[in-house]
Structure 1
Amino acid sequence: MAVKIRLARHGAKKRPYYRVVVADGRMPRDGRYIDLVGRYNPLTNPKTIDIDIERVDEWVAKGAQPSNAVAHLIDIVKNGTPAPEKKRKPSKKAAAKAAAAAEESAE
């Protein structure tokens, strides 16, 4: 039985909220899990990462494999550094609106 530490998605459409769970690798993403070891909310500013590192270390010692995303979150929690914010490019409509506002204020 391959045990994985991974994210289980919850929340509404386009409003994701994740639980960090220990689950059998054969179970579906949001299906039955063995243990809940943390939570992750990417929508708050700054992102909320609440992981019980002691329980994660216990599961890793037993042979559980963290997914890439969970491994990254664990590194962030252990190092204490927040996740870098991605620079967002404004949409064409927003850029045109900002340009029009800048042109109007220049006059």
Structure 2
Amino acid sequence: MVVIRLARGGSKKRPFYSLVAADSRNRRDGRFIERIGFYNPVAPQGSEGLRIAMDRLTYWKSVGAQCSSTVERLVGEYNAKQAA
């Protein structure tokens, strides 16, 4: 099954996450099919801390991919920010 989840990158104490479509059997930071966006929780104010390619997210969900709970929360925040 394909899942859309966060893959951790960055360095110690400076996390950076990629939103990826990956096979559920692969490791969290392992092989993935496609990078859909990114999330930087320690981004300074005024810089972009979250970007999601909504067209690709919609595509993966249409073919049966499941989103993790954190990704669902981030998508909601992203949509609210885009609407404002």
Give TM-score, length-normalised by structure 2.
0.90
Partner of residue 89, structure 1: none
Bigger helix share: 1
Unpaired runs of 5+ residues, structure 2, are none
Is residue 69 of structure 1 aligned with residue 70 of structure 2?
yes
How far did 1:45 drift? 3.1
Determine whether 1:36 maps to 2:35.
yes
AA aligned opposite 1:4 = V
How many residues align? The count is 80
CA distance in 1 between counterparts of 2:38 and 2:26 reads 19
CA RMSD of superposed structures (Å): 1.3
State the 4+ residue runs in structure 1 displaced beyond 2 angstroms.
none
More strand by share: 2
User: Do residues 60 (structure 1) and 74 (structure 2) align?
Assistant: no
Identity %, equivalent residues:
43
Q: Which amino acid aligns with 2:67?
A: P
Distance 2:18 2:37 in 1: 6
Question: In 1, Cα distance between the equivalents of 2:32 and 2:64?
Answer: 16
SS in structure 2 opposite 1:80?
helix
Post-superposition CA distance 1:39-81 (Å, at most 9, x none) = 1000013470011011001100000001011111111111217
Q: Please, what TM-score do these two structures have when normalized by structure 1? A: 0.71
The structure that has the greater radius of gyration is 1
- Gapped regions of structure 1 (runs ≥ 5): 82-107
SS of corresponding position for 1:60: helix
Distance 1:45 1:11 in 2: 15
Q: Distance in 1 between matches of 2:4 and 2:40?
A: 17
